[in-house]
Amino acid sequence: MARVFWPIVLGAVLISAGAVHAARGDAPVAATVIAVVSGTEIDVVITESAIEDTLAAHTIARVVYHGIVSPGRFDPLYMEAFDLNWNLVSDSKVFLKPASVLWDEEERLHAYVFLDPSGYGMVNAFLLASGLASIDPGFVGDDPYTAFLTGIAAIAKRASLGVWREATE
């Protein structure tokens, strides 16, 4: 059953993320990934920024994918989430759409991470669609990507992917 849902989820991620991003009209921040830290964290060097007063070019930042959490270090799915994240973004140019609350108490930048400057290929959504992340319990309900990300998570859950595999067995 999970294999049937996978193409549907991937298509929804690719099409919808671009449509949601384009509808907002915000220009992303460009960055180069210098390290993959976990399933939902990366270290980047900012290369271009439309918000120089907040996030200047040539700044190194730890980015956490806003709205999602990946399995913890001792969870059996931790390495799968890490590997998918690494395969998607390692040594790549990515495009960041900072969240409404930029920094957390650990001085990490909260952002949506895209593989394309037009807003296609949201990494946050790829991790959810694969079942290697779930919605962050602290995710704000009025965020512009709330419905999109919770919809992707619901499809992955129905397909019993990743973190939901054991919960439904």
In this prediction, residue 128 carries a pLDDT of 95
pLDDT tens digits, 3-13: 444 555 555 55
Q: Domain tally for the chain?
A: 1
The confidence band for 127, taking pLDDT boundaries of 50, 70 and 90, is very high
- Which one-letter DSSP state was computed for residue 143? S
* Residue with more model confidence, 97 or 28: 97
Q: What average pLDDT does the segment 67-91 reach?
A: 95
Beta-bridge partners for 44: 33, 61
pLDDT tens digits, 70-80: 999 999 999 99
Please indicate, yes or no, if residue 168 is contained in any of the structural domains. no
What distance in Å separates the CA atoms of residue 79 and residue 72, rounded to the nearest whole number? 9
In this prediction, residue 4 carries a pLDDT of 46
Domain containing 158: what range? 2-163
Please indicate, yes or no, if residue 91 is contained in any of the structural domains. yes
Are 155 and 2 spatial neighbours (Cβ–Cβ below 8 Å)? no
| pLDDT at residue 51 is higher than 50 | yes
Which of 115, 41, 124, 38 lies closest to 83, judged by CA? 38
Domain CATH code at residue 55: 2.40.50.90
The confidence band for 17, taking pLDDT boundaries of 50, 70 and 90, is low
In this prediction, residue 2 carries a pLDDT of 46
User: Average model confidence (pLDDT) for the chain?
Assistant: 84
- DSSP of 2-56: HHHHHHHHHHHHHHHHHHHHHHHTPPPEEEEEEEEEETTEEEEEEEE-S-TTTS-
| pLDDT at residue 129 is higher than 90 | yes
Write out the two tokens for 114.
């895209």
pTM > 0.75 = yes
Poorest-confidence range of 94-98, 120-124, 142-146? 142-146
Please indicate, yes or no, if residue 169 is contained in any of the structural domains. no
Please indicate, yes or no, if residue 52 is contained in any of the structural domains. yes
Please indicate, yes or no, if residue 35 is contained in any of the structural domains. yes
Q: What average pLDDT does the segment 92-115 reach?
A: 92
